[in-house]
Structure 1
Amino acid sequence: MPERSLDAGSAVPGSARPAVRTVTVLGAGSWGTTFAKILADAGRDVTMWARRPEVAAEIAGQHTNSAYLPGATLPDNLTATSDAAAALDGPDAVVLAVPSQSLRDNLGRWRELLPADTILVSLAKGVELGTLKRMSQVVGEIAGVADDSVVVVAGPNLAKEIAAGQPAAGVFACGDHERAVAVQEAAFTSYFRPYTNNDVVGSELAGACKNVVALSCGIAAGLGFGANTVATLITRGLAETARLGVKLGADPMTFAGLAGVGDMVATCASPLSRNRTFGERIGRGETIEQAQEAVGGQVAEGVMSCRSIRDLAHGAGVDMPITDAMYRVCHEGSDPVTVGAELLGREQKPERM
């Protein structure tokens, strides 16, 4: 579906659209903190939940999160707690800002605390290992709500740049358009421009697959290759992502928008991208463990997602050679140089999406 923009003050008075005035963000990582800042800058009262009490205390008392978003000053109308029950006491919307592979376990602990009829928003970008479910499907299953009622946030969202107030945009995808617009209105600021669409499948797959392609771009850079190689990987990575998405019911135009090419370019090209940085260290000859240590002990999402996306593609009968290559490098110990040569030596064919 085409992305729809929001102009300030466009809400229709007296409409049935739910109002979002108070928001809880569950998770205090870099993107969760940045999204909380966006909401607070847009005039919403925001409470963050942090797993570590010292992180919550710093956010609430000093309005900073030095562990995950150093250098950013958080608004006064943003507070934090490590008490999930307190955080979930009656917000209009709940934002799930935890890594994709831990979403199920975390949400299971929070399920009984979720207010009735609250709007659920997912920031996670991935495909769950084992079940091969998208994040909105996991949320729907655990929270007992319809999958298409979950608002999915996608697009080029490098946290550090947005937290600094640099202009950016995002897509809020949801089958329930009124819910998407309610969150869109709650996150509209002078520096962040939200759009909506109703293609949850395409938006989520684009967000998951771009992490895998970013790994490949990082590996290419680590091996000493330049812009032509990276551009080739981005373009062909987008092609295989779109093939999978369309096979699973996505709108092909989604992959030409912010959730697709927008997020792909930002994640694959920026040194701020954890997945690209992780891949670059692999390309330089480091092990997975060494690369993990270099990015603060956190495994890049693409390392886990390449396994689940590969399994999802195989089940759907979709050819995804870059994803297959990243799986072999990350999980089978294959040499990146050898895998790269095999990618270049594949059967010649016309360019197709």
Structure 2
Amino acid sequence: MGRNKIATLLSAATLALGASFANAEDPLKIGFVYVGPTGDAGWTYAHDEARKHMEAQLGDKVETSYVESVAEGPDAERVIRRLAKDHGLIFTTSFGYMNPTLKVAKRFPKVKFEHATGYKQSKNMGNYFARAYQGRYLTGMVAGKMTKSNVLGYVASFPIPEVIRGINAFTKGAKEVNPNVTVKVVWASTWYDPAKEREAAETLMLQGADILTQHTDSAAVIQAAESKGKYAIGYHSDMSAYGAKAHLTAAVHNWGDLYVAKAKSVIDGSWKSEDLWPGIAEGATDLAPFNDAVPADVKALVEAKKAEIKAGKVRVFDGPVKAQDGTVKAEAGQSLSDGDLKGMNWYIDGVEGKLPQS
């Protein structure tokens, strides 16, 4: 577990159960639990960059620590419980940490917990995510415009709503600009395993995909595309360093401001359990810089759509929306609700193959 001096949190009144500090001027101790290594170039990397941003903003008001590569399940509960003994705020940053976080939160009522990507809350546990599907939709437009084979490849992790929502948003964006496009999905059944991710990417290219994207955490998909002279779209962070020719753009997360705000709220006593889902409008979701290979007209099209989303004029899942089996999910003039999106368990029209059971 690494430790760094930082910039965030807490008054003595909000300290974790059993924690003790000399006075109210002591820094708020903030713990992070990561599902992958901080050097994964993706999900965990983005969260750790946000942790560093929080340190830079809050200085000696906070002190952070993190535990990386924590498996979802019993091991996560053990790690979270250990942090809760002497931390005032804990961020648990993977879907599979939801139930362990809730269980530990009940045992440590004075500690504040924030869980990423889940849906359960309690008095001292909130949850948060970014509307990453907005960025996915925009990157789908890029892919739909630039594909030559009309086959796009998607390396996916687990069939949970968060991942399915991204597949559908990407497909919707691609189909809106290119009705002939199809999206093939290979499920890697892992968040972070570069070898499996690369194998999935190579399988998709053998099936005719000339542009790849991913909902996994390493840069292996980008590297695979680079090695075969194909294009790819990153996720979580700008992955262009791993494939300068292949990387067209990426849907990226910006957690830093949210972490600063949550830390400040613990420090000033205003923290409350919330279900937060900020997106492009709040700066939590964005696109990485475009590759020079992306034509100017495609860039302009995507930037115009991004501006409409930011202004609230367009929602990604505005109708008509039709499922893979032909079921109409939203008529023209309608839009899927947040509840619909958070429970999404079906493929949109344009995705090939059968959705596996989670």
> Which bin holds the TM-score, normalised by the shorter protein?
0.3 to 0.5
Q: Which of the two has greater strand per residue?
A: 2
Larger radius of gyration: 2
Highest relative contact order (Cα 8 Å, sep 6+), 1 or 2? 2
TM-score, structure 2 length as denominator? Answer: 0.35
